[in-house]
Structure 1
């Protein structure tokens, strides 16, 4: 049961609660229209997209490999240049062919006029072959397409395509022109026709203005990059399938139960609470299971409340019909009776019926308001000693208590302290004392005691009447329970007093029961247990007394 102290106590708190709810609801923004399944998938796919974005940086990996290979080629060209400079020029043709086969380069030497003087491929088989892309299969064409897309996305530096000039002169190669003009080594990277790198190195050689020009097509770089990208795509595909599968599983374990609970809630809202069986999901120990069981318990409580309300309405109708029927009969008979004595008797009956109706309506109104008012009540610290003493003095002055003695042993101050609604607790004590007085014999004694029992404050109201049979100990707390003492005038009590007392005590998180008096004495003993408030000791100079 939710404590009344946990609910908003005033309009300001309730308005603040609604404001925070609206602010949290609006915090979803544009995603508020998305289903929960879509949000789960979107979050996981977004993470995968971030991971997939790293594929576009294979261009950096390719550039790094190409840079390392270019540096390696420069060192090899320096060695070739040293060998040639230490070899008579007559032997360069043989030496260039041999070094071209060993290094995989195509080595050309241009003289000072820019004409090609030596070529390692003259009289030797080519050391590399540039593939014709038109002869490649679909897999290679797809790979080249992915290469282009990758370069476009990462804005890779564009490279020109390698093409053998019709007139193979030094002026056809910009890097060779640069090497001669600046008298230092120059390099350039181009795309071969099949989009593999072709690296060219140019460097001055000898003292007569000759230039060495070496080229190679390291296809392994492209193959290595594409292989890495292929396996990365395989990993991404597997991770995507697993992620989507887990997302759908997660959505299923969350969304489907929520939809079932939402449908059940809608059916309850449509007034079909008795038909609805809210799934409790006993196997689930997570928040969804907790929500399901909470909604199921709420639905059960709602059904009980509806049943209680319908039963209460039926009992009210029944209880109101009796005095109304008597009143109507008396009014109808009043016109036909001429005898003054009989007319006075009928008027007395009418007066009693009106009082009975007034008492019934008052008690019914109070009984119907107990739950709602207690839910809104603001509990405060109450010492039951002065409260019960005030109620006792009031009851002693009532005419119907003239032949009944009332004794109250007031407890020590600070012992019988509870958190509650003083007005409602006063009514509980009044109803219990009123019930004890009505069942007490002439000169009977009604005893009220208040004690502390561990964490509870215990109130006992005992009388010397006939007591309560064991089979009626629960029935007497039902609304409109009508078993009254024989000496009591008809209609004096509505049968709601003990029901109101029980509802009020339970709203204070307490219990009420009836038992026989101790030591075999005749009479009934009503026992109320209320949670005790922390004891606050008087202080002196900031210290406990």
Structure 2
């Protein structure tokens, strides 16, 4: 299997786009990045678990406030009761509040305990006797408290010598501070609410303790719901991430492998999938790569054919030049030597013409791709071209008639120098085939969103089956009276390349007036604005 990335060596002139470059994630695959982004979102959602710790603190603080209020109410009620009714009232309050109530005298000794008078209203559970799920829940509680740096809570245990001095919460009570409350953790990490109230009239102290298991139960139930939501969300997110990675990464890898095969040239024709069913950016990329591959293949084939044609065309004048030069050593007749020198000079000029035209034909595509098109008035350009040809006397005895359009009527976007080369080559061809004192007619007119230029001559014309072939390179079908080697056969091919580079077309049609001769028709997009 070919690697997706063909090479890690960058050319010397390569420049990375800073907007597209990656830093810390450059080595991660696209699939990994998609998963990481979605998992990060799930991790942010998991932060709601830590909010539950604040929720538990709020519940605890509310329960402590209630416990202080309850002890004050019970203290006031006890203050109004006789000692005979006091124990019944304490048992009644303890049963209603699901708590343990203790009363201490002014010497700190316990004088009443609801657990001694009636059945206990709660029981501290031993974690060793609970199922493993409770251990997991407690571990999760401790982990979250550690992460959010919760205020530490001391452990609760019943004192062996139950008196006021054994309870830190009772030591602070006085006439000034009549109530106090605190929370501790039972052995199974459930909160134990402790509240105390000072009774000034009798100097007694009331202590309330309650195992608020419901707080832990509520928080853990909410946490379980959040964990379930997070799990389901993570599952859906991962599945969607994998689906997204499948729809993005797999076709990109397929395109990358096809591009590598194109680079390696392992087959004459490498088919890059066009993915016609996809209308998104991946489909656009696939079609763009397929079109680019086809264009590259066409250029490679054209370059190979061009190289073969160049080799073939240069061989003939080189062979003639070699033969003439070799004959000079064996010929003593001055006239024959002069003829051989003339042949050699003609071959040198022919080779020079071939090299110039070949150079022009090979670079015209690249130069057009870099050229910035400007508005060109075809009428004005042809006027200047015809004046220059008249001055150089390149029309020989042939006359040229040009029906000049109005100023700005026939305007196109293009490269004026290249377009002038097109018309010059076509006029050279028309002059070559025109009879002595013949007439060449040029017409330039706008047609909807195009500008149409027609060049008609009075030559022998071109057969319909040959009208496409004349634009091929090195075509040497010239008039019989023309000296051999005067043309390279690249003029019309260069003209066709330039016209197509301007998104136009050039073709040969019958003369519009029905007379004998050829008519070259060029259609170029009309300039807008």
Moved more, 220-229 or 258-267: 258-267
> How many angstroms does 1:354 deviate by?
2.1
CA offsets 1:191-214 (integer angstroms, 9 cap, x no match): 111100111111123612011111
Q: Which residue of 2 aligns with 1:347?
A: 341
Return the match for 1:97 from 77, 82, 91: 91
**What's the TM-score once normalised by structure 1's chain length?**
0.90
Q: Would you say 1:24 and 2:25 are equivalent positions?
A: no
CA offsets 1:328-354 (integer angstroms, 9 cap, x no match): 223333333344444433333323222
8 Å CA contact 1:417, 1:457 repeated in 2 = yes
1:324-403 alignment runs, 5 A limit: 324-396=318-390, 401-403=395-397
Q: Which residue of 1 aligns with 2:209?
A: 215
Return the match for 1:149 from 136, 143, 152: 143
8 Å CA contact 1:274, 1:303 repeated in 2 = no
8 Å CA contact 1:162, 1:191 repeated in 2 = yes
User: C-alpha root-mean-square deviation of aligned residues, in Å?
Assistant: 2.1
Determine the C-alpha separation between the residues in 2 that align with 1:400 and 1:242.
Answer: 79
Q: Which residue of 1 aligns with 2:181?
A: 187
Q: Which residue of 1 aligns with 2:104?
A: 110
Determine the C-alpha separation between the residues in 1 that align with 2:378 and 2:311.
Answer: 37
Q: How many residue pairs get matched? A: 518
* Cα pair distance change 1:416/1:262, threshold 3 Å: same
Q: Which residue of 2 aligns with 1:9?
A: none
Determine the C-alpha separation between the residues in 2 that align with 1:438 and 1:65.
Answer: 104
8 Å CA contact 1:180, 1:211 repeated in 2 = no
Determine the C-alpha separation between the residues in 2 that align with 1:141 and 1:430.
Answer: 95
Return the match for 2:222 from 216, 228, 239: 228
8 Å CA contact 2:67, 2:181 repeated in 1 = no
8 Å CA contact 1:109, 1:116 repeated in 2 = yes
Q: Would you say 1:83 and 2:77 are equivalent positions?
A: yes
Return the match for 2:481 from 482, 487, 508: 487
Determine the C-alpha separation between the residues in 1 that align with 2:408 and 2:528.
Answer: 9
1:248-287 alignment runs, 5 A limit: 248-272=242-266, 274-287=268-281
> How many angstroms does 1:322 deviate by?
1.6
Q: Which runs of structure 1 show a deviation greater than 4 angstroms over 4 or more consecutive aligned residues?
A: 397-400
> How many angstroms does 1:431 deviate by?
0.3
CA offsets 1:46-77 (integer angstroms, 9 cap, x no match): 11111112212221111122222223333433
Determine the C-alpha separation between the residues in 1 that align with 2:153 and 2:352.
Answer: 102
> How many angstroms does 1:440 deviate by?
0.9
Determine the C-alpha separation between the residues in 2 that align with 1:18 and 1:263.
Answer: 22
The answer for unaligned runs of 5 or more in structure 2 is: 1-11
> How many angstroms does 1:400 deviate by?
6.3
Determine the C-alpha separation between the residues in 2 that align with 1:289 and 1:206.
Answer: 86
Return the match for 1:294 from 288, 296, 310: 288
Determine the C-alpha separation between the residues in 2 that align with 1:264 and 1:121.
Answer: 83
Determine the C-alpha separation between the residues in 1 that align with 2:14 and 2:379.
Answer: 40
Q: Which residue of 1 aligns with 2:43?
A: 49
CA offsets 1:104-133 (integer angstroms, 9 cap, x no match): 121111111111111111231111000011
> How many angstroms does 1:217 deviate by?
0.6
Q: Which residue of 1 aligns with 2:194?
A: 200
> How many angstroms does 1:279 deviate by?
1.8
Determine the C-alpha separation between the residues in 2 that align with 1:76 and 1:141.
Answer: 33
Determine the C-alpha separation between the residues in 2 that align with 1:272 and 1:393.
Answer: 55
Determine the C-alpha separation between the residues in 2 that align with 1:242 and 1:348.
Answer: 87
Q: Would you say 1:68 and 2:54 are equivalent positions?
A: no
Partner of 2:275, secondary structure, is: coil
Q: Would you say 1:130 and 2:124 are equivalent positions?
A: yes
8 Å CA contact 2:178, 2:199 repeated in 1 = no
8 Å CA contact 1:109, 1:119 repeated in 2 = yes
Determine the C-alpha separation between the residues in 2 that align with 1:329 and 1:454.
Answer: 57
CA offsets 1:387-439 (integer angstroms, 9 cap, x no match): 21222233345566332111122222222222222221111111010011111
Determine the C-alpha separation between the residues in 2 that align with 1:350 and 1:399.
Answer: 27
Determine the C-alpha separation between the residues in 2 that align with 1:276 and 1:334.
Answer: 54
8 Å CA contact 1:273, 1:303 repeated in 2 = no
Moved more, 403-412 or 190-199: 403-412
